[in-house]
Amino acid sequence: MIDIKLIRENSDFVKENIKKKFQDEKLFLVDEVYELDQTYRECKVKADTLRAKRNEVSEKIGSLMREGKKDLAEKIKAEVSSINAEITVLEEKEENLETEIKKRMLLIPNIIDESVPIGKDDSENVEVEKFGEPVVPSYEIPYHADICEALSGLDKPAAGRTSGNGFYFLSGDIARLHSALLAYARDFMINKGFTYCIPPFMIHGDVVNGVMSFKEMEAMMYKIEGEDLYLIGTSEHSMIGRFKDQIIKESDLPICLTSYSPCFRKEGGAHGLEERGLYRVHQFEKQEMVVLCKMEDSFTWYDKMWNYTVEFFRSLDVPVRTLECCSGDLADLKVKSCDVEAWSPRQQKYFEVGSCSTLGDAQARRLGIRTKGENGTYLVATLNNTVVASPRGLIALIENNYQEDGSILIPKVLQPYMGGKEKIEKK
């Protein structure tokens, strides 16, 4: 959510930002907020004037009673009563106007950074840099689900019977490799100085509204029937929500956290071949990183964070590239975002394994997260980034380490988490 001062002082700038995000259907919201805010401020000034007048005339009542001027005192009491009634009406109007303003403000997208490329959707995202040489082996690499099934590591039919499409059973060494990947990601981030956390896996609706747009929530979140609880789609939701309505000491910034959680997403629609595998699923696990910092430090942390993900995958010998997300591909709260994509030797192309975003003070404004220092109290900046999400990260690992004999080499950094095992082979 942007600062309403932007609409008061430069509504054309806000409208231009909306156009850059190809959301022209939202342009009318800026004018509506401007007009509602004008009315709100007029009501507030009028109510404040009446309160001052009430205080002024109320002070006369006591002295008039002491002077025996009871009739005049009663007349002033009636005047105070009338003022109170008018103030009550104005306060109700203020409250209704505040609600209507906020309803519209939540739909107006955040101001994107000037460096963000302009484009309608993810097809216009811009490649920034490649890390590692993408290799296509001389032998065929089977579909990842077939590799896992051949190693007795995947059972989707059974998951279909228990839970439906989009779920899976992992077993044996494949399940162990999945857990090893997440454990290594945890330790990787701890070694970078981040504090490890395990957050709640369900959150209240007001936290959901604080961390994402309504459109995203509808597309992603599972709601617990009959309760004000949602299953998280990423641990960022809980981790940012943790600081709701808090004032953080400026000396405690930056706050650098890395969190593990299962994640639950609707992932609606059919996806062809990927529907059979592990690429798009309703349940997965993820190691996340979250940073709260001063606004002026946000882009320094943004660059550090996506670089950590690149370093993580390169330590697994997985080639990756970074893509700058264009304006139309940015979620409404994001200022700037980039995707990290891993090389798929089977498909001979890259696919997304992580996303890094800075959201400016949008989440902090929605959730009331502030910091206090020598220069007063102000909103913090929030950032989030995927270290690894598995099974998607597992797919990249399997494909890039698949051998002609059907085995999978285990990268050295993961071997301690696999009991020293160097290879997964058919039994």
What domains can you pick out in the chain, each with its CATH number?
Answer: 4-105 (1.10.287.40), 122-424 (3.30.930.10)
Q: Which residues of the chain have pLDDT under 70?
A: 62, 268-275
DSSP letter, residue 402: B
- Location of structure tokens 């969190």: 259
Q: How far is CA 3 from CA 7, 11, 117, 188, 225, in A?
A: 8, 11, 23, 37, 34
Q: What is the pTM of this model?
A: 0.90
Backbone angles phi, psi at 56, to 5 degrees: -65, -45
DSSP letter, residue 352: E
* pLDDT at position 219: 83
* pLDDT at position 252: 96
Q: What is the DSSP string of 255-315?
A: EEEEEEEEEE----S--GGGGTSSSS-SEEEEEEEEEEE-GGGHHHHHHHHHHHHHHHHHT
- Location of structure tokens 């008039």: 64
- The letter for the amino acid at 150 is A
* pLDDT at position 237: 95
Helices (H), 372-421: 392-400
* pLDDT at position 273: 43
Nearest one of 382, 384, 405 to 338, comparing CA atoms: 384
* pLDDT at position 77: 82
* pLDDT at position 270: 45
Residues paired with residue 170 on neighbouring β-strands, in sequence order? 154
Q: At what angle do helices 4-20 and 27-66 cross, to 10 degrees?
A: 170
* pLDDT at position 268: 64
How many CB atoms are closer than 10 A to CB 388?
28
Angle at 243 between CA 240 and CA 248, to 5 degrees: 125
Q: Is 121 exposed, middle or buried (0-12, 13-18, 19+ CB in 10 A)?
A: exposed
Q: At what angle do helices 172-190 and 298-314 cross, to 10 degrees?
A: 140
Q: Which residues of 295-324 are buried (b: 16+ CB within 10 A; e: fewer)?
A: eeebbebbebbbebbbebbeebebbbbbbb
* pLDDT at position 382: 98
* pLDDT at position 217: 83
* pLDDT at position 272: 47
The answer to whether residues 304 and 384 touch, using CB atoms and an 8 Å cutoff, is no
| Cα Rg of the chain, angstroms | 28
